[in-house]
Amino acid sequence: MHWADHAALSLSENGKLQVCASGITPSGEFHIGHIREILTAEMIHRACLDLGLESKYIFIVDSMDPLRRVYDFLSPSYEKYIGTPLAFIPAPGPDGEPDNSGGSYAEYFLNPFLNSLKKIGVTPEIIMNHETYEDGKFSEKIDSAILNKDKIRNIIEEISGRELPDNWFPYSPIGSDGSMDGVEVTSYEKPYVYWKDRLGIEGKSNIMKAEGKLPWRIDWAARWGIHQITSEPAGKDHGSSGGSYDTGIPICRLLGSDPPKKMVYEWIQLKGMGPMSSSKGVTIGPVEALNLVPPEILRYVIARSKVNRHIDFDTGSTLFETADEYERLLSDMSANEERGLNRRQRIAKETNLGALKFSQIYRGDDPFKSLGGVSFRHLSLLAQIKNRDEDVWTSLRKSNHIRIGPNKILIERLSRMRNWIDGPHFPEKSKIIIHRVACDEAIEFIDEQKKSFLTELKSKLNDCEWSENGINNLIRMISKNSNITTKDCYVALYWLILGKNNGPRIASIMSELDKDKVILLIESLP
């Protein structure tokens, strides 16, 4: 059973409306790491619907969170906004200066991300947290938190192991300068929290309005009850022992609601660079990734991995391998029959079918309609050798990958593949530059024995079936009768054709080239 189906089955036991949630703080550009939380919740929501449960998926934007520092992409002018809720800060302009005509800071970073989510089939109910505060929906939870502040303090200190300051208060009012930093609470008389800010100015905040907010650990626990959330996966930073999930569960109960069952997911790591981080610049954006591979592949990156396993991600070889795995899995699934499979194979097949099901843009889509019929690796080879799309389709017809013309899926994949090849993320080892004459490095590597092999190969090319299999068979046959190893025969061809000692399958490359050009290339050796 797929992990999302298993989670839905567990939720079905409570027999009520399922509310699957995820949340995000719009403090900067979003990255693929954020996609894991969102798709984990969204896939559980889909699984609930598949099980016949009533379910909805909400996406909570932490627009009430304060700006914590002046990030590198902001001008020093934002210094005055530190501690101010993101919903109440102007968006940055092209020069990083505050732009009052550009909407709020929160909206500026949120909207492009929501557009990316639509492209991967995610259309949640959007909840702006500052609006929930403005509507007074937090007021009862705020009042309860203040009345139980000593109990909440004990929960946080005992579970997290950290000591709260003496002046800690379970509500952060907004001071006279718009910031929540340096504001000290002096008293509470419902619905007002009285305070004195860092400028020495005294005032009051109405808990019925967005004039302050609960600290994160309490805010999260409160919203579980406000929105009746039954499932909210969290990253391991919040889900670790003593983290905000552990403190949130008893706080939620103290505030009069039932918390969701704890579910923790591992991070997506940028291969070789660790966990993705907007503040550290270690990111790949969803828009960037969608220019390279179809949305089904991005969904598959999440769907194929158990939530408690970290994902190594890059837009080079790893993404290549994942895309080909998706295509291969579809091909295998369409060919295999249920009969003859043992129990382990059946379980694996059902799990894989689940991953394919949750990888589709729209719930209920047939996964096999996303089958391109050509591996990404082979398509990348053709896209580099053939400048014209029509030449690519001709080659695929010749190799029986397609019969007449390419379908919409294949046309879109080739377009993305050309973006990938022309951009900075294409795997170096998969790059192809076909040489017209032997380069100096090839001449240096190819000694008399290897040259003898190439000469014999040239003499037999005209009679060779011009296909990958035909060329491979010829290379192996000649190598058996030569004084060099089969490996050295292939390496000699790599040096001659590509000017390096490895790359994509050389016989596959040769089969896409004009036979006469290969012969002329061999003849260019001195």
pLDDT tens for residues 123-165?
A: 999 999 999 999 999 999 999 999 999 999 999 999 999 999 9
Task: Please state, in angstroms and as integers, the Cα–Cα distance from residue 369 to each residue in 52, 330, 361, 365, following that order.
Answer: 24, 10, 11, 8
Residue 41: CB atoms within 10 Å: 29
In this structure, are 361 and 279 located in the same domain? Answer: yes
Range with lowest mean pLDDT among 47-56, 316-325, 471-480: 316-325
pLDDT at residue 273 tops 50: no
In this structure, are 338 and 418 located in the same domain? Answer: yes
- Mean pLDDT on 6-28: 93
Range with lowest mean pLDDT among 65-79, 150-164, 247-261, 303-317: 303-317
In this structure, are 486 and 518 located in the same domain? Answer: yes
In this structure, are 342 and 425 located in the same domain? Answer: yes
Peptide bond into 504 cis (omega under 30): no
Counting every residue written for the chain, the total comes to: 526
State phi, psi for 31 to the nearest 5 degrees. -135, 175
pLDDT at residue 64 tops 90: yes
The residue type found at 104 is: S
In a domain, 173, yes or no: no
Task: Choose the final residue of a domain: 400, 429, 458.
Answer: 429
pLDDT at residue 357 tops 90: yes
Q: How confident is the model at residue 504 (pLDDT cuts 50, 70, 90)?
A: confident
Strands (DSSP E) contained in 220-304 are: 234-235, 264-265, 268-270, 274-275
Residue among 129, 119, 122 nearest 41 (CA): 122
In a domain, 252, yes or no: yes
454 three-class SS: helix
In this structure, are 254 and 294 located in the same domain? Answer: no
In this structure, are 102 and 77 located in the same domain? Answer: yes
Task: Choose the final residue of a domain: 369, 396, 429.
Answer: 429
What's the gap between Cα 470 and its chain centre?
40
pLDDT at residue 283 tops 60: no
Query: What's the chain's average pLDDT?
Result: 91
Query: What is the per-residue pLDDT across 250-263, written as a single tens digit (0 to 9) for each?
Result: 999 999 999 999 99
CB-CB contact of 73 with 109 (8 Å): no
Task: Choose the final residue of a domain: 265, 295, 330.
Answer: 265
pLDDT at residue 344 tops 70: yes
In a domain, 453, yes or no: yes
In this structure, are 27 and 125 located in the same domain? Answer: yes
In this structure, are 34 and 81 located in the same domain? Answer: yes
pLDDT at residue 287 tops 80: no
pLDDT at 427: 82
CATH, residue 119: 3.40.50.620
- Mean pLDDT on 446-450: 92
Percent of the chain past pLDDT 70, that is, above it, reads 95
In this structure, are 401 and 509 located in the same domain? Answer: no
Percent of the chain past pLDDT 90, that is, above it, reads 73
pLDDT at 482: 83
DSSP string, 342-361: -HHHHHHHHHHHHHHHHTSS
**What DSSP state is assigned to residue 282?**
B
In this structure, are 254 and 130 located in the same domain? Answer: yes
DSSP string, 59-74: EEE-TTSBB-S--TTS
Q: How confident is the model at residue 71 (pLDDT cuts 50, 70, 90)?
A: very high
In a domain, 153, yes or no: no
In a domain, 201, yes or no: no
In a domain, 180, yes or no: no
CATH, residue 449: 1.10.10.350
In this structure, are 45 and 117 located in the same domain? Answer: yes
- Mean pLDDT on 508-513: 92
In a domain, 151, yes or no: no
Question: From CA 34, how far away is CA 32, in angstroms rounded?
Answer: 5
Count of structural domains within the chain:
3
pLDDT at residue 282 tops 50: no
Go through 335-369 and write b for each residue having 16 or more CB atoms within 10 A of its CB, e for each that does not: eeeeeeeeeeeeeebebbebbbbbbbeeeeeebee
pLDDT at 270: 66
In this structure, are 239 and 324 located in the same domain? Answer: no
In a domain, 88, yes or no: yes
pLDDT at 290: 82
pLDDT at residue 337 tops 60: no
Domain that holds residue 451: 440-523
Query: What is the per-residue pLDDT across 20-36, written as a single tens digit (0 to 9) for each?
Result: 999 999 998 887 878 89
